[in-house]
Amino acid sequence: MGKYNHSNLSHKDLARLANVTQPTVSRALDPSRCHLISPATRQRIVDLAQELGFQPNIHARRTRSKCSEAITLVIDDITASSKSSYDFNRPNTMTTFEQVNGIIDGANDFGFDVKFLPLYFRRDIDVDSLSQRIGFPYSDGVFFLGFHYLRQLAAIAEQRRVPVVVALATVNNYACVNVDPLTGYRQLITELKQRGRGRIAFCGIDKREQPFQVFRHTALRQALAEDNSGEVAEVAEFYFNSLLDIRRQMEKLSREPNGVNALVCSSDSLALHIRNELAYLGTDSRFSIVGYAGEPQFGDLASIVVPRYDICRLATRLLIEAIRAKKAPDCRSWLLPSTLRLGTSL
């Protein structure tokens, strides 16, 4: 190998040293085509290239293949403050980073880059200007983290034959990766039965018809319907529109010794507010309080945990596989199981 000037190495030289064809070298070093050869051959060529300090011309490769080896991540308007004085379901930066890390790691598995397109406080952005940032040479696919008000952008991507995947939401006619809350609720029912806490109230915010609440409440009811022990049942529903509303309802609930003894909430932050109010009243030990999402900062709160990292990593893989296959992902939903996180509130 010493006779080669490493700075002048070509694909042809590398092919000769690796005892493979030149197209095999090209495929091994191309993230969009490396799946076309065996993993062992690819790794041998990659190791040899690294040993020799060989760097392929990625700009020429991308131009030739018309593959930018990048995806556009559209992050929903998820940090905007609620119009009211409270916000029970506001995500936090730790949660967002967990999701983004799953996307970045998933992209790194295939040698793809991620371009961020956050929509925080940017409702003035024009759909046409956004549409100019998708498709070659900017990116090869669009990843929606949540599904925001700009549905037109997804439609434009589809018209341009740019693959689209949606994570942490379920949208008709798109490939979606979401959580299955049913598995976590089944575990919760088993735990509540063991603790003798079978009189359940579902707790939500503001309006009961909000899609995320309907999704979670429906799963809870399905889990209850599957249980035929007669030890657990939903006996009430509570929907709050202010912190004062929570306080009043918890005061009333605390005066009913034979009433509800398990509060299953639509979010972790709502569960935290309820627990704090009951602790103030000195009655929190009479109730099992369970949140939803499993957000890291609420580590001592019992919760139905959403595998955000795994969901986003799987969605990224599906998107890049569609890019490689030069076709749209299958329009179906992939559901990853939720789990119950035990906590002091249970």
Is the predicted pLDDT of residue 179 greater than 50, yes or no?
A: yes
Q: Are 308 and 98 a contacting pair, CB within 8 Å? A: yes
Instruction: Give 1: exposed, middle or buried? Use CB within 10 Å, 0-12, 13-18, 19+.
Output: exposed
CATH topology of domain 6-65: 434 Repressor (Amino-terminal Domain) (1.10.260)
Is the predicted pLDDT of residue 291 greater than 90, yes or no?
A: yes
Element (H, E) at 101: helix 93-108
Written as one letter, the residue type at 321 is E
Better-scored residue on pLDDT, 70 or 23: 70
Q: C-alpha angle 88/187/179, rounded to 5°?
A: 55
Is the predicted pLDDT of residue 95 greater than 50, yes or no?
A: yes
CA distances from 273 to 180, 198, 279 (A): 25, 22, 10
Percent of the chain with pLDDT over 70: 82
pTM for the full predicted model: 0.79
Q: How many CB atoms lie within 10 A of CB 300?
A: 12
Find where tokens 């004085």 sit.
85
Pick the CATH number of 70-178+308-335 from 3.60.15.10, 3.30.70.260, 3.40.50.2300, 3.90.1300.10: 3.40.50.2300
Find where tokens 């076309």 sit.
36
User: Residue 81: pLDDT band by 50, 70, 90 thresholds?
Assistant: very low
Q: Could you report the per-residue pLDDT of 182-237, keeping only the tens digit for each?
A: 999 999 999 999 999 999 999 998 777 788 889 999 999 999 999 988 899 999 99
Q: Could you report the per-residue pLDDT of 262-290, keeping only the tens digit for each?
A: 999 999 989 999 999 999 999 999 999 99
Mean pLDDT of the chain: 83
Is the predicted pLDDT of residue 120 greater than 70, yes or no?
A: no
Going across the sheet that includes 233-240, the strands are: 233-240, 199-205, 262-265, 288-293, 303-305, 339-341
Is the predicted pLDDT of residue 75 greater than 70, yes or no?
A: yes
Better-scored residue on pLDDT, 340 or 91: 340
Indicate where the chain has its CATH 3.40.50.2300 domain(s). 70-178+308-335, 180-305
Could you tell me how far CA 280 lies from the centroid of its own chain? 35
Q: C-alpha angle 50/56/60, rounded to 5°?
A: 165
Q: Could you report the per-residue pLDDT of 125-162, keeping only the tens digit for each?
A: 666 666 777 777 788 888 888 765 556 677 777 777 78
Lowest mean pLDDT among 296-300, 310-314, 331-335: 296-300
Q: Give the whole-angstrom CA distance, residue 89 versus residue 306.
A: 14
CATH topology of domain 180-305: Rossmann fold (3.40.50)
Better-scored residue on pLDDT, 49 or 345: 345
Rounded average pLDDT over 238-265: 90
